[in-house]
Structure 1
Amino acid sequence: MDKFTTLTGIAAPLPLINVDTDMIIPKQFLKTIQRSGLGKNLFDEMRYTTDGAEIADFVLNKPAYRNAQILVGGDNFGCGSSREHAPWALLDFGIRCVIAPAFADIFYNNCFKNGILPIVLPQEIVDQLMEDAQNGANATLTVDLENQTITRPDGQTVAFEVDAFRKHCLLNGLDDIGLTMEKSAAIESFETKAAQDRPWV
Structure 2
Amino acid sequence: MTRLTKIAGSAAPLSIDNLDTDQIMPKQFLRIIDKAGLADGLLYDLRFDENGAPRGDCVLNRAEFAKARILIGGANFGCGSSREHAVWGLQQYGFAAVIAPSFAEIFYSNAMNNRLLLVQLERDVVDMLAREVTETPGAVISIDLEGQTVVSASGKPYAYSIGARHKRMVMEGMDTVDLTLQSLAQIEAFETVHFERRRWARVM
TM bucket, shorter chain:
0.7 to 0.9
CA offsets, 1:37-66, max 9 Å, x none?
A: 201210000111222221122111100111
Residues in 1 aligned to 2:72 and 2:108: alpha-carbon distance in whole angstroms? 14
1:73 counterpart = 2:73: yes
| Residues 32/188 of structure 1: CA separation in 2 closer, same or farther (3 Å cut) | farther
Aligned to 2:156: 156
- TM-score, normalised to structure 1, is 0.88
Residues in 2 aligned to 1:2 and 1:131: alpha-carbon distance in whole angstroms? 33
**1:138, 1:153 within 8 Å by CA — same for their partners in 2?**
no
Residues in 1 aligned to 2:94 and 2:102: alpha-carbon distance in whole angstroms? 21
Aligned to 2:119: 119
**Equivalent position amino acid for 2:71 in 1:** L
Shift of 1:169: 1.3
**1:6, 1:142 within 8 Å by CA — same for their partners in 2?**
yes
Of all paired residues, the percent bearing the same amino acid is 42
Residues in 2 aligned to 1:67 and 1:185: alpha-carbon distance in whole angstroms? 44
Shift of 1:79: 0.8
Aligned residues: 199
Aligned to 1:43: 43
Unaligned runs of at least 5 residues, structure 1: 195-199
1:18 counterpart = 2:18: yes
**Equivalent position amino acid for 2:157 in 1:** T
Residues in 1 aligned to 2:113 and 2:137: alpha-carbon distance in whole angstroms? 30
Aligned to 1:106: 106
Deviation larger for 74-83 or 180-189: 180-189
**1:4, 1:115 within 8 Å by CA — same for their partners in 2?**
no
| Residues 177/50 of structure 1: CA separation in 2 closer, same or farther (3 Å cut) | same
CA offsets, 1:21-46, max 9 Å, x none?
A: 11100011112242232012100001
RMSD: 2.5
**2:11, 2:138 within 8 Å by CA — same for their partners in 1?**
no
Aligned to 1:197: none
**2:133, 2:153 within 8 Å by CA — same for their partners in 1?**
no
Aligned to 2:130: 130
Residues in 2 aligned to 1:2 and 1:66: alpha-carbon distance in whole angstroms? 25
- TM-score, normalised to structure 2, is 0.86
Shift of 1:181: 4.2
1:147 counterpart = 2:172: no
Unaligned runs of at least 5 residues, structure 2: 196-202
| Residues 29/139 of structure 1: CA separation in 2 closer, same or farther (3 Å cut) | same
